[in-house]
Amino acid sequence: MRALTWAYMAALYAFIFLPVAVLVTFSFQDGRLPVPPLQGVSLRWYETVLSDRNLMAALGNSLLVAVVSSTAALFLGFLAAHALARVRLPGSVLMRGLLIAPMTVSYLIIALGLLTVFNQTGIRLSLWTAGIGHVVINLPLCFAITYAAMGDQQRSAERAARDLGASDWQVLAHVSAPMLAPALAAAFFLSVTFSWDEFIIAFLLTRFDVTLPVEIWSMLRSGLSPATNAIGSLVFLVSVSLVIALELTIFRRAR
């Protein structure tokens, strides 16, 4: 039974990480196509990617959209979760359902709806409109994670702070947010990850300044290239480094 358990775990991890291993391996391909056999090892595709101005601009755009939209989604989601968890409002169950509803809607439908709204109101498509779309899809996630983390311990601390003369904003900033820091950090970085990888909304709601997934899609239209493997490997390296750094700092400290 123990051997079967280990075999299942090995198969599970292989299923998850084998595509990543193939991606990274063929990013070092010396040939012009990222397909077997491996024709020597070379770093020229990494040099090509890092010297490509369009890719670097798209990378910066993705970082900007991900960080700004995730910050806005976290702020709005935190305020909504705190209000619905601490104040009894008529129809609060319906409000929670409406806030979480975008998680069940296709990104394509959301993108088309926002595109119609922007066209009708005369708002020009840009990175800001893509950021608004990412706030729409990430706000329910931030709300759900923050709402689930709120408990009686935070409620008691907030009451004590109010009894000592703290205002509502001081309670939020100095009591609620610090006590919910692990949940807020998790919500923020999950939002950054979803925004970073999102393609449909970014594709439909941008024009000239595009994000990294849209730029990679443009590269793939001209055929396969180890350059796409190289940029994917770099993005994976940054993501893994970020997760390890969070595990060694914020989440370990919280435990």
Task: Give the pLDDT of residue 81.
Answer: 86
Report, as an integer, the average pLDDT of 11-21.
82
HEC string of the chain equals CHHHHHHHHHHHHHHHHHHHHHHHHHHHECCCCCCCCCCCECCHHHHHHHCCHHHHHHHHHHHHHHHHHHHHHHHHHHHHHHHHHHCCCCCHHHHHHHHHHHHHCCHHHHHHHHHHHHHHHCCCCCHHHHHHHHHHHHHHHHHHHHHHHCCHHHHHHHHHHHHCCCCHHHHHHHHHHHHCHHHHHHHHHHHHHHHHHCCHHHHHCCCCCCCHHHHHHHHHHCCCCHHHHHHHHHHHHHHHHHHHHHHHHHHHHHC
Predicted confidence (pLDDT) per residue in 158-217, tens digit:
777 776 777 777 777 777 778 888 888 888 888 888 888 888 999 899 888 888 888 888
45, part of any domain: no
26, part of any domain: no
Task: Give the pLDDT of residue 253.
Answer: 56
Average pLDDT over the chain reads 81
Confidence of residue 250 (pLDDT cuts 50, 70, 90): low
Question: How many distinct structural domains can be found in the chain?
Answer: 1
Q: Which range of residues forms the domain containing residue 130?
A: 57-254
16, part of any domain: no
Most confident of 30-34, 110-114, 248-252: 110-114
4, part of any domain: no
pLDDT of residue 71 exceeding 90, the answer is yes
Cα pseudo-dihedral 207, 53, 67, 118, rounded to 10: -10
pLDDT of residue 218 exceeding 70, the answer is yes
171, part of any domain: yes
24, part of any domain: no
User: What CATH number is associated with residue 66?
Assistant: 1.10.3720.10
Most confident of 39-43, 95-99, 108-112: 108-112
248, part of any domain: yes
Q: What phi and psi values does residue 174 have, to the nearest 5 degrees?
A: -105, -10
140, part of any domain: yes
Lowest mean pLDDT among 145-149, 189-193, 222-226, 248-252: 248-252
